[in-house]
Amino acid sequence: MKVLMFGWEFPPHITGGLGTACFGMTRGLAKQGVDVIFVVPKAYGDEDEQAVSLRNASGIRFDLTDKEYKEYWERVKYLEVASNIIPYVGPEEFQKTVEAKKKTGESFSSNVFSDQYAFSGGYGPNLMEEIARFALVGSALALKEEFDLIHAHDWHTYPAGIAAAKSSGKPLVVHMHATEFDRTGENVNTLVFAIEREGMEAADRVITVSNLTRRIVIERYGIDPGKVVTVHNAIEQNVTREIADIKRAMKDKVVTFLGRITYQKGPEYYIEAAHKILQKDRNVRFVMAGSGDMLNQMIERVAQLRIADRFHFTGFLKGDDVDKMFALSDVFVMPSISEPFGLVPLEAMRINVPVVISKQSGVAEVLEHALKIDFWDVDGMADSIYGLLHYNALSQMFKKHGKIEVENLKWENAAVKIKEVYKSALEAVK
């Protein structure tokens, strides 16, 4: 079986869990005998291609006036709009970006239908334009490549998946890693919502990363429950000895939050819980690793609470730096308001770090050895963290059994379920 797969990022060039999940998934599928052609907007040349055949959309040239493509480009023309969406960036930060572009004379638009197009490969102000071009690339690749079905990850690639399916007649599977409701609460971007819904309506099967996400897809988007299947994410098992053996010089306990500093991740609740703990024990250091539109707001709140000497902002971490941070941590906390799945707790548990997670997360569906709290329950969060820091028997139990639990969450197991979804999609179009 061969799959034409569309994603927006691939390790080591990632901004969050999506790229990490795609990497593990493709490795798992390779072990199940599934060949994957993975298409990204921009390839850098240092990606791991052991399990995939990578296609760089920036390097694909074609003339849309050719008869071969003419009948397909109109279906994505509606995407050539001046939306200038930057995910996870607030109004103030976006305005700064716009002003910076004006000063340098950079334009927010270029010809999507040109012979050659340079993707940024990120989530900048030209995002909607890049999504439109990516859809055209999808349509073109579908006419050139040999494959059995199409798999598109998250809304950025849904138009490409739809275009590829229409030009090839092959079945489409879309993967919902996070909905617009997860990212923004009720303040949804209507254009993003429409793209998500159209992608799922056009798909023969929809994979969601948790039952929590499945319910949102069915109830908020009106998608047929019969074609929505939950396949929980997994975790890469390999950890280098150097990382696992890191020793810490400081005596203070370390509590870590790692993720985007945005509304969805609930960073403000983490800070309030930290304040409560520090009123009882000043020998604790709190880390907030990540970046996002709420970063300045969180720094200001830490200053207001007068806990800045116990609080550390590291900025965005990736690769080995993430594992090194966990190796220095005594507790990991994920207080997400709405988390479709949440790979980071698994990464922490893999390195023997006990975790506190919100009940409003998909990963809570698969973990037993994690302390689970409501994201808004600051007292419950503080009590959970304090207990893991001060009661060694409790901490050791969660470390031991948590690591065993995570070791059983393998991508090759998830890949077996994904392959079954593929077979179901192929049967549906016969």
Per-residue pLDDT of 275-312, as tens digits, reads 999 999 999 999 999 999 999 999 999 999 999 999 99
Dump pLDDT digits (tens) for 184-210: 887 888 999 999 999 999 999 999 999
Task: Name the residue among 30, 2, 28 with its Cα closest to residue 231.
Answer: 28
What does the alpha-carbon distance between residue 342 and residue 321 come to, in Å, rounded to a whole number?
18
**Dihedral sign, Cα of residue 23, residue 28, residue 30, residue 33:** negative
Range 40-48 average pLDDT = 73
Q: Where are the beta strands (DSSP E) in 19-167?
A: 35-40, 53-56, 149-153
Share of the chain above pLDDT 90, in %: 57
CATH 3.40.50.2000 assigned to domain 2-234+411-428? The reply is yes
The two beta strands, 172-176 and 149-153, are parallel
pLDDT tens track for 6-41: 988 877 766 667 888 888 899 999 999 999 998 888
What would be the CATH architecture of the domain defined by 241-407?
3-Layer(aba) Sandwich (3.40)
Same fold, 2-234+411-428 and 241-407: yes
Helix (H) or strand (E) holding 104: helix 91-104
For all residues of the chain together, what is the average pLDDT? Answer: 84
Task: Please report where in the chains the tokens 């790692």 appear, as a residue.
Answer: 258
Lowest mean pLDDT among 132-141, 328-337, 343-352: 132-141
Residues 174 and 176: their CA atoms lie apart, in Å, by: 7
Burial 222-232 (b: 16+ CB within 10 A, else e): ebeeebbbbbb
Q: What are phi and psi of 32, to 5 degrees?
A: -95, 10
Q: Do 257 and 287 contact (CB within 8 A), yes or no?
A: yes
- Residue 282's CB: how many other CB atoms inside 10 A? 12
Q: Which two tokens stand for residue 352?
A: 């023997």
Q: Is the pLDDT of residue 170 over 90?
A: yes
Q: What is the mean pLDDT of residues 116-124?
A: 69
Q: Cα 76 vs. chain centroid, distance in angstroms? A: 25
φ, ψ of residue 219 to 5 degrees: the values are -80, -35
Domain edges within the chain: 2-234+411-428, 241-407
- Whole-number Å distance between alpha carbons of 313 and 255: 12
The pLDDT assigned to 124 comes to 67
